[in-house]
């Protein structure tokens, strides 16, 4: 039936709890894309392209027993810190907060503003980058 509590917590802000969640971006053998199971006819070869590269990651949240967040740690597989290199540009990890811990139109705008600031996409000759999004509500709110 468990153990009797022998300690009283007088300072909940001094107690740290943490947990992690993680994943792998590889979809090899997954059979799912965006939560949908993909099928094709017998004897046919599926034509949907998926990511086969293993990219392991973990997210660790540290909180005080008072409920206050302390720190968020993002861990990528590898031996040392290395930023993403895209189109020859160094793109650092972006950290943002929101009331529900999910993406907002402000965060989405910040992401695009940072990519513009870093000049990640070559816009010479009238080229324009294209962003394909799902139907999440943050895509339909101002300021996005």
CA angle in degrees (0–180, nearest 5) for 131-139-54: 55
> What are the C-alpha distances in Å from 117 to residues 88, 89, 121?
14, 11, 10
> Contact at 8 Å (CB) between 83 and 93?
yes
Considering the entire predicted model, what is its pTM? 0.53
Mean pLDDT lowest for which of 30-39, 102-111, 117-126? 30-39
Output the pLDDT for position 117.
Answer: 92
Q: What is the pLDDT of residue 104?
A: 81
Whether residue 24 has pLDDT greater than 70: yes
Q: Per DSSP, what are the bridge partners of residue 75?
A: 58
| Structure confidence by residue, pLDDT tens digits, 82-118 | 677 777 888 887 777 777 777 788 888 888 899 899 8
């Amino acid at each position: 039936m468990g153990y009797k509590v022998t300690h009283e917590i007088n300072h909940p802000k001094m107690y740290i709890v943490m947990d992690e969640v993680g994943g792998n971006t590889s979809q090899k053998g997954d059979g799912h894309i965006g939560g949908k199971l993909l099928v094709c006819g017998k004897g046919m070869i599926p034509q949907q392209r998926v990511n086969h590269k293993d990219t392991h990651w973990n997210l660790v949240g540290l909180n005080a027993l008072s409920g206050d967040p302390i720190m968020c740690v993002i861990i990528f597989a590898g031996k040392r810190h290395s930023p993403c290199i895209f189109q020859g540009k160094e793109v650092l990890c972006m950290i943002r907060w929101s009331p529900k811990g999910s993406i907002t139109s402000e965060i989405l705008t910040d992401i695009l503003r940072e990519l513009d600031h870093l000049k990640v996409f070559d816009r010479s000759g009238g080229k324009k980058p294209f962003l394909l999004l799902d139907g999440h509500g943050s895509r339909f709110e101002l300021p996005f």
